[in-house]
């Protein structure tokens, strides 16, 4: 596995990380716990070092799962988790609102450390920007945790460039996590130039479009009732049918490279900047190995121009989130 540094921070991670959310949350009933622990061990064995979780995933159960799985290999991995939601203590609802008050940040850090069975959180993201708490206070709270040795690096998720600049002035931001893929390219407009200027790494989530870019989903696919893609406008049957044009493009390139559409989608992301480390999620060993194979796919400048030219002619249909969730991004 190739390694990459997240911006100027010195934090080195595998070129491809692993998003762990789906092992406990969001994509239908959670898979078998022991199978997921085996999958996490397989990821470590194959050179993945960056593992992404959050207290809200479950809630709480995803951190517990990851903590159990990595307990024997702690020195080989980088653990990223997140704060910023007000959670139902009984776990009946994933979240009740936003809460990035400094006292809550500290509580989340201490609780996450226990669930993850670690002494220090390697990368601690604000999950969503809280409009009721100045970002300077948030950065200051994380700075204090870094001083105390409970956190190593500060990150932001789905933050706008003004928020990033203000936070970075108080406590250097190591990484920003936001959605980015060949079918969601908004970060290219302002976010990527800002991160490059400030020396901040980028960790794209949903680099495979929540599974759509794998080519395994079409307008007839039925999702489990608890699968959150049911509420995403981009996953309506009509939008899926229209958006298959993007999958067809990836398939054409894949055929010429003896690769899969998913591998081309990930290779395209990796080719954008050397400080980008995507975190595709999966619950299947075969998909994990397929994703890892993308690191070895070489896209030439001509390949990238061809992809960009063809993609520019495709209009992706559907908002990525319903309005309630859209309001929490890019603040």
Residue 65 tokens, joined: 């799962």
Say what the pLDDT of residue 93 is.
67
In a domain, 214, yes or no: no
The CATH number of residue 55's host domain is 3.20.20.100
Question: How many structural domains comprise the chain?
Answer: 1
Say what the pLDDT of residue 219 is.
92
Place of tokens 């890892």: 292
Which domain range does residue 288 map to? 3-209+267-297
Say what the pLDDT of residue 84 is.
97
Say what the pLDDT of residue 156 is.
98
In a domain, 130, yes or no: yes
In a domain, 115, yes or no: yes
Q: How far apart are the first and last CA of the chain?
A: 34
Say what the pLDDT of residue 323 is.
87
Say what the pLDDT of residue 330 is.
82
Residues of the chain with pLDDT under 50: none
In a domain, 97, yes or no: yes
In a domain, 253, yes or no: no
Q: What angle do CA 242, 188, 164 make, to 5 degrees?
A: 125
Question: Is residue 69 within 8 Å of 41, Cβ to Cβ?
Answer: yes
Separation between Cα atoms, residue 212 and residue 218, nearest integer Å: 8
Place of tokens 């596995």: 1
Separation between Cα atoms, residue 116 and residue 81, nearest integer Å: 9
pTM of the model: 0.96
In a domain, 51, yes or no: yes
Say what the pLDDT of residue 96 is.
84
Please report the DSSP string for 236-276 in residue order: SHHHHHHHHHHHHHHHHHHHHHT--HHHHHHHHHHTT-TTB
Place of tokens 């395994």: 216
In a domain, 123, yes or no: yes
Residue 46 tokens, joined: 């194959």
Which active-site residues does the annotation give? 57
In a domain, 314, yes or no: no
Say what the pLDDT of residue 175 is.
98
pLDDT in tens, 247-287: 999 999 999 999 999 999 999 999 999 999 999 999 999 99
Short-list 328, 196, 311, 183, CA closest to 253: 311
């Amino acid at each position: 596995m190739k390694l990459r540094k997240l911006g100027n921070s010195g934090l080195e991670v595998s070129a491809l990380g692993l998003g762990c959310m789906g092992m406990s949350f969001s994509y239908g009933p959670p898979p078998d716990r022991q199978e997921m622990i085996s999958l996490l061990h397989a990821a470590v064995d194959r050179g993945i070092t960056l593992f992404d979780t959050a207290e809200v995933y479950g809630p709480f159960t995803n951190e517990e799962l990851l903590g159990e799985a990595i307990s024997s290999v702690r020195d080989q991995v980088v653990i990223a988790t997140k704060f910023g939601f007000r959670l139902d203590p009984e776990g009946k609802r994933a979240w009740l609102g936003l809460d990035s008050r400094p006292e809550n940040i500290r509580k989340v850090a201490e609780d996450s450390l226990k669930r993850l069975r670690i002494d220090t959180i390697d990368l601690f993201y604000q999950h969503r920007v809280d409009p009721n708490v100045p970002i300077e206070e948030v950065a200051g709270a994380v700075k204090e945790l870094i001083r105390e040795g409970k956190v190593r690096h500060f990150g932001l998720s789905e933050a706008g460039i003004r928020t990033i600049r203000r936070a970075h002035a108080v406590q250097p931001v190591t990484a920003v996590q936001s959605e980015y893929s060949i079918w969601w390219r908004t970060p290219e407009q302002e976010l990527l130039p800002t991160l490059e200027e400030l020396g901040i790494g980028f960790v794209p989530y949903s680099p495979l479009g929540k599974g759509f870019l794998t080519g395994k989903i079409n307008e007839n696919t039925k999702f489990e009732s608890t699968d959150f893609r049911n509420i995403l406008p981009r996953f309506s049957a009509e939008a899926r049918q229209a958006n298959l044009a993007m999958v067809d493009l990836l398939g054409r390139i894949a055929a010429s490279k003896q690769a899969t559409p998913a591998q081309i989608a990930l290779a395209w992301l990796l080719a954008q900047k050397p400080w980008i480390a995507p975190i595709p999620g999966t619950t299947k060993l075969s998909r994990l190995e397929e994703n890892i194979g993308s690191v070895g796919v070489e896209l030439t400048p001509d390949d990238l121009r061809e992809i960009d030219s063809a993609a520019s002619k495709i209009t992706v249909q559907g908002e990525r989130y319903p309005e309630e969730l859209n309001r929490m991004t890019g603040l």
